[in-house]
Structure 1
Amino acid sequence: MDVEKVFHMTGGVGVTSYAKNSSLQKKASDMVKHITTETIQELFLTSTPKSIGIADLGCSSGPNTLATIKDIVKAVEGTSPKMLLHPPPEFRVYLNDLPTNDFNSIFKTLPEFYSELRKEKSGGCPSIFIGGYAGSFYGRLFPNNCLHFVYSSYSLHWLSRVPPAIYDEEGKSINKGNVYISEFSPPQVSQAYYKQFQEDFRLFLGSRSEELIVGGRMVLILLGRIGLDHVDRGNSFFWQLLSRSLTKLISKGEIEVEKLDSYEVHFYAPSKNEIEDEVRKEGSFELDRLEMFEIERVEKDDESYGAAVAKTVRAIQESMISHHFGQRILDSLFEIYGRMVDEELAKEEIKPISFVIVLRKV
């Protein structure tokens, strides 16, 4: 499966869209917003550019990306009055995602975005130029030295491809019955995923080092894991539950065993040490900050936590699952999945962790 041609968050503004089901990601970015704003303010104070280049890599199609851009613009403008000889800069904003992303949904909300900024500034509006850049961030996207700041939220745990080393000589997966690394996976499966992460993350860092000015910053938010073990009751456990849910559909005769055996996700949750190792090996960036955090679970009156998680995962995985299994299984699959999440939570807490990373180009 060609990830670049198939993978995208569910577009539009429907009930299963990413726009309607990305509140968990918004909550996470809000938790570390102070780090994002502090980083962009420090960058502006030290470089004082007249025109500042900002890229959001993996912007997707919901409201989250413009909310982040608004926070960044306000942070810079809040710093500017302290520097009497340096008025606010113009902002060049590059929104990036894969070619199949629903960029139109973002562009349709731009008039409202500009209108809100004008209201907040009593009729004035910062000079902001926003454009979409389609393509994989595992490679070059922008001209040399055109960026000052790169932001990426919940995108870098997605690999450029399913690791080829998990397939045998006949092209069949050695990770049968699992969509990701599990306790039943052969050791070479976790090794293959780790190797793919190393290759991808190093390529990401090398590409951004060409595009960022010296002293440019990156704030990266991604899912991860706490220790050495790839299998834990965190992010990997949610994939185990998806494997179990698909197995349940096999028992109902809704999908074939071979279909599950040939489906793998292009995901990897790195550890703190793995991230630090790749930054050091690539050599273009200093690691200014690396913090781990958890999103506190919030129950809604009209919806269980499992149902909310199922909607979130569906908005992310629907394109891949429907391409491989067909759309007809989606409602049944995620109803089962949401129920399984709730059942597991009744037994023991599930604790997915995230990292926020601040890198500075040297």
Structure 2
Amino acid sequence: MKVAEVLRMNGGIGDTSYANNSLLQQKVILMTKPITDRAITSLYTSLNNPKTISIADLGCSSGPNTFLAVSDLVKAVDNHRKKLQRRHSPEFQIYLNDLPTNDFNTIFKSLPKHEEDFRREIGEGCGLRFFNGVPGSFYGRLFPSDTLHFVHSSSSLHWLSQVPKGVEENRGNICMATASPPSVIKAYYDQFEQDFSTFLKCRSKELVKGGRMVLTMLSRQSEHPTCHIWELLGLALNDIVAEGFVEEDKLNSFNIPLYTPSLGEAKFLIEKDGSFTIECLEAFQIHWTEYNNGSDYDGYNVIARCMRAAAEPMLVSHFGEGIIDEVFRRYEKMIADSMSTRPDYSQHITVTISVIKM
């Protein structure tokens, strides 16, 4: 699997698009808003009336969440400017980054309407915002040295740059799972360590001294690095294999490039890099079934659609389109059966890290 070619959310605005199935990611952004607000206002104060603030959102995807985080950052700066009684607002250079296969067309088609709504809401006085699309992997350099003031990334850094090498023994699984051999777990961690360390090195070059960075990624509660919601998708695929729709070897050669770090692992790698001071390191817990609209069934349907928006491009690339509807029909039932008997499985754990470039 060439991750840069297939790792993307479902584009467009259809029923299975990420744009219409990203309520959970929106909840994560809103839950971590106090941390991002503190970081950006602290930065603004330290810059002493800057003319321009450069903000990069890494892993922006497409849909309503794309503008949510950066708009909240600009609002936080403008509100703080008024409190400090600074007359002139900075202008904002905003960079939206994702892999080249991301649906940037939908983003920029919706930009004029978004800007109109934003200006109506915030009123006069706030500086202009200049938006730029930056296609490319954030596991490499994206910007010139010492040009960024603030980096934000939400629900993206748990995705790896590639499927780890050495996961051939992960038969019957599509990710780190309860049944995965220790060698597979180690291979996933090694890939995460390499990727996250590269990410930190690149951002340390691109951020100005004193620049801020707030990162939020899927995490885990236990020491064993499994992700139950993805394990269930693997079980749905195993059902399809058992009934002859897909060859077993096809399933055994498929692994998701995803790692859910613990809070301790993230802290260790940041300290090992040595370029940043940790301001805040906090874990959050959200229940998947908060979005049930009054019934558990609706909630399970929302979860399945959310996961489909994220996983479908990878699944289609490997298995073809023919099995997708059936896989997610079974997957939704497995989610309902699992979460109704084990409520703890409905917990979505994230870790948020706020750091300052030394």
Range of TM-score over shorter length = over 0.9
Is residue 300 from structure 1 mapped to residue 287 from structure 2 by the alignment? no
Alignment map for 1:166-315 (pairs within 5 Å): 166=167, 173-231=168-226, 236-296=227-287, 297-298=289-290, 299-301=292-294, 303-315=297-309
Unaligned runs of 5+ residues in structure 1 are 167-172
What is the TM-score normalised by the length of structure 2? Answer: 0.95
* CA shift for structure 1 position 83: 3.2
- Find the aligned partners of 1:82 and 1:346 in 2 and give their Cα distance: 48
Number of residues paired by the alignment? 352
Q: Provide the secondary structure at the position in 2 that maps to 1:352.
A: strand
Q: Is the 8 A contact 2:89 2:125 kept in 1?
A: no
* CA shift for structure 1 position 332: 0.7
Tell me the equivalent position of 1:170.
Answer: none
Q: Is the 8 A contact 1:97 1:133 kept in 2?
A: yes
Tell me the equivalent position of 1:136.
Answer: 137
Q: Is the 8 A contact 2:75 2:122 kept in 1?
A: no
- Find the aligned partners of 2:122 and 2:265 in 1 and give their Cα distance: 44
- Find the aligned partners of 2:45 and 2:231 in 1 and give their Cα distance: 46
- Find the aligned partners of 1:356 and 1:345 in 2 and give their Cα distance: 25
* CA shift for structure 1 position 84: 3.7
Q: Is the 8 A contact 2:217 2:352 kept in 1?
A: yes
Q: Aligned letter for 1:295?
A: I
* CA shift for structure 1 position 86: 5.5
Tell me the equivalent position of 2:109.
Answer: 108
Q: Aligned letter for 1:265?
A: I
- Find the aligned partners of 2:159 and 2:87 in 1 and give their Cα distance: 39
Picking from 336, 356, 359, the partner of 2:355 is 359
Q: Aligned letter for 1:292?
A: A
Tell me the equivalent position of 1:73.
Answer: 74
86 and 44 in structure 1: CA distance in 2 versus 1, 3 angstrom threshold: farther
* CA shift for structure 1 position 352: 2.7
Tell me the equivalent position of 1:338.
Answer: 332
Q: Is the 8 A contact 1:114 1:125 kept in 2?
A: no
* CA shift for structure 1 position 85: 4.6
* CA shift for structure 1 position 121: 4.3
Q: Is the 8 A contact 1:40 1:149 kept in 2?
A: yes
86 and 278 in structure 1: CA distance in 2 versus 1, 3 angstrom threshold: farther
200 and 331 in structure 1: CA distance in 2 versus 1, 3 angstrom threshold: same
What is the TM-score normalised by the length of structure 1? Answer: 0.94
Deviations, residues 256-277 of structure 1 (Å, cap 9, x unaligned): 1111100000000001111111
Identity %: 44
Deviations, residues 53-93 of structure 1 (Å, cap 9, x unaligned): 00000000111021211111111011112334552100000
Deviations, residues 33-52 of structure 1 (Å, cap 9, x unaligned): 11111211111011132100
- Find the aligned partners of 1:218 and 1:85 in 2 and give their Cα distance: 24
Deviations, residues 85-134 of structure 1 (Å, cap 9, x unaligned): 55210000000000000001110111111111221244666311001000
Q: Aligned letter for 1:315?
A: A
- Find the aligned partners of 2:177 and 2:106 in 1 and give their Cα distance: 36
Deviations, residues 306-344 of structure 1 (Å, cap 9, x unaligned): 211110111001110000000111111111111101101
Q: Is the 8 A contact 2:280 2:355 kept in 1?
A: yes
145 and 21 in structure 1: CA distance in 2 versus 1, 3 angstrom threshold: same
Tell me the equivalent position of 1:93.
Answer: 94
Q: Is the 8 A contact 1:154 1:221 kept in 2?
A: yes
Tell me the equivalent position of 2:157.
Answer: 156
Q: Aligned letter for 1:30?
A: L
Tell me the equivalent position of 1:118.
Answer: 119
* CA shift for structure 1 position 305: 2.1
121 and 341 in structure 1: CA distance in 2 versus 1, 3 angstrom threshold: closer
Q: Aligned letter for 1:339?
A: K
Q: Is the 8 A contact 1:117 1:125 kept in 2?
A: no
Q: Aligned letter for 1:301?
A: G
Is residue 348 from structure 1 mapped to residue 349 from structure 2 by the alignment? no
Deviations, residues 168-190 of structure 1 (Å, cap 9, x unaligned): xxxxx211100011222111000
- Aligned CA RMSD, in angstroms, stands at 1.4
Q: Is the 8 A contact 1:61 1:101 kept in 2?
A: yes
